[in-house]
Amino acid sequence: MPEFIYKNKLYYNPVEFAMDRIGGTWKMPILWRLKEKVMRYGELKKDIPRITDKMLASQLKELEAEGFISRKVFAEVPPRVEYRITPRGKKAIRLVEQIRNYGLELMHEFGVKQEKKK
Amino acid sequence: MPEFIYKNKLYYNPVEFAMDRIGGTWKMPILWRLKEKVMRYGELKKDIPRITDKMLASQLKELEAEGFISRKVFAEVPPRVEYRITPRGKKAIRLVEQIRNYGLELMHEFGVKQEKKK
DNA sequence: CTGGATCCGATTTGATACTG
DNA sequence: CAGTATCAAATCGGATCCAG
């Protein structure tokens, strides 16, 4: 049984480590949107339903701190901040795609229907 | 933006749906161990470090309720209960492997070393 | 042996208001 | 526009005790 410490937290396995980096309710949705677009804070906010400023800001900060996205601030008024995916983030996206495909498969098995975008 | 309800819970995307079925701290470790072995409750308990009875029992119940594992009770004294993976669980294992491989990759990038099993 | 029941603290997320 | 600060709610998981 592998077991290890990272940043003062005990992990039992690599899956847990990965999910701690890019798991949670909002990180994958954020990465997903930055897949092939550079986006501003406000664009992300509008594009991700129900996310609050608190969650968006904190998750962006964590993703940046661990190198999945980068942040560019423009010295303008009004302020402009752009977020873009990094190479590490691109690798993460490949996993997101796999989980997503699996999720779609499961939803089909469970008879879950998705709503259309309005 | 897909958005849907399953069992009275609102989901934002397929990833979230998948992780709600097989995510959390203990479900993947359990599935992983049943990958190619039938195991008893007590064996799982011994093999998964630090898991409590509460978590093991509840996670087994949820995995069974959603068809990832099956449970066989023997009418013996003392009681014997065996858990085995189902076809649906086997598909899940393929995803676990992908997440695990990604986690190992990330750990390498982050310079995390795993301890050897004692 | 295989759990269920209860209590409780820690963590995560949400709501709301406010600011450079 | 792009966030912070504060407080509250919900969820998760651990500890402990009990039972068929």
- CB-strand contact B33/C, under 7 Å: no
**Which residues, numbered 93 to 112 in chain A, qualify as contacts with chain B under a Cβ-Cβ cut-off of 8 Å?**
94-96, 98-107, 109-110, 112
Furthest CA-CA distance within chain A: 54
Whether residue B14 lies inside any domain: the answer is no
Nearest to B41 by CA among B83, B13, B1: B83
Question: Is the Cβ pair A12, B96 closer than 8 Å?
Answer: no
Residue A9 lies in a domain: no
Q: Is residue A16 part of a domain?
A: no
The answer to whether A67 and A88 have CB atoms below 8 angstroms apart is: yes
Cβ of B17 within 8 Å of Cβ of A95? The answer is: no
Q: What is the pLDDT of residues A4-37, one digit of tens each?
A: 999 989 898 999 999 999 999 999 999 999 999 9
Q: Is residue A100 part of a domain?
A: yes
Residue B89 lies in a domain: yes
Q: How many CB pairs under 8 A join A and B?
A: 134
**Which CATH number fits the domain that encloses residue B91?**
1.10.10.10
Report the number of distinct structural domains present in chain A: 1
pTM of the model: 0.94
What distance in Å separates residue A85's CA from the closest CA in chain B? 16
Nearest to B113 among A4, A18, A98 (CB): A4
Beta strands in chain B (DSSP E): 4-6, 9-11, 39-40, 69-74, 80-85
Could you tell me the residue range of the domain that residue B59 belongs to? 26-110
Contact A30, A85 (CB under 8 A): no
Residue with tokens 């962006």: A60
Nearest CA to the C1' of D15 belongs to which residue?
B52
pLDDT per residue as tens digits for the range B27-58? 999 999 999 999 999 999 999 999 999 999 99
Inside any domain, residue A78: yes
* Exposed / middle / buried, residue B53 (Cβ in 10 Å: 0-12, 13-18, 19+): exposed
Q: Is residue B101 part of a domain?
A: yes
A83 domain residue, yes or no:
yes
